[in-house]
A = this chain, B = another copy of it.
């Protein structure tokens, strides 16, 4: 079942235009425009007549015409990863809510990090004359691709803290360190890590920070377990956790849940034998078994800051310093002092 592209669109009944409203109110179309745009200097009585005519006719502004005339659309283009993970999805909702408050709406498109896919997404959004662009840049390569293409304000979101300018992100290094220091402080010395999708910025940052941490503390580098964010992958990785490992740092919560499942199947108990830390603090993680210790990321704040900064840029002001959003550790029942 594949949808088929439309060949012809019925150009049936367009709604009333400003001229229709103007005629009905006995004014010029320009007066209607002024009423709609809250210009000063309209006689209250005239304004009321116009508003009445609008209501009578069920008139709705044609934003296409407005966009053509002004060059602005009050739409923010959002490029999302193709798979609905918790972070991007939460951020999207946060952006929508923040944008709504300033009269903007998000136009969504998904793209993989490949240049052609990203290019198509950009073309589509820019053709719609979006006023700004949010790119959920999960891969470092997309940055260059976007930069050269447009002069529309662009903000990168969910990039870790790797591109300080024009990007809003949760500090991945800090988050990872919170998790690892918590485990270290509990006495753990043998760590393994289940990664997110290889190459994605956040996965890479968590992984790099993990390795750096081991080196700093002089801990052994056991094999990295490659994951892909999914609980399935977490389960498979959990089966491969080495004997003697007591601390498992998972790049997100679903993988942590999968891994715990695998560990328990192997007869290991969490947290008595192995302590497990996740990342994201998804709403269910407090009710996992055992309740998951995890790094909380405030995606609502990310979305809010992104929209706020974009509004500044659109209005010609420089946005304030775009600081990283600080994550915090939520300690629950999946971590305990190292055994022995």
Q: A residues within 8 Å of B by Cβ?
A: 1-14, 58, 60-65, 67-68, 70-73, 75, 82-84, 89-90, 92-93, 96-103, 105-110, 123-124, 126-129, 131, 148-149, 151, 230-232, 234-235, 254, 257-258, 260-261, 264, 283-284, 286-289, 291, 304-305, 307-308, 310-312, 314-316
Contact = CB atoms under 8 A, between A and B. Distances in A.
Contacts of A129: 62-64
B128 A63 contact: yes
A102 B68 CA distance: 25
Contact of A283 (B1, B61, B230): B230
A209 to B, nearest CB: 25
Contacts of A72: 9
A1 B107 CA distance: 23
Given A108-B108, A257-B287, A261-B287, 12 more contacts: A1-B305, A3-B101, A4-B311, A6-B314, A9-B70, A9-B72, A9-B314, A11-B71, A63-B64, A234-B287, A264-B289, A284-B284
How many copies of this chain sit in the oligomeric assembly? 2
Given A61-B127, A287-B261, A93 B84 contact: yes
Nearest to A307: B3
Contacts of A310: 3
Contacts of A7: 315
B100 A3 contact: no
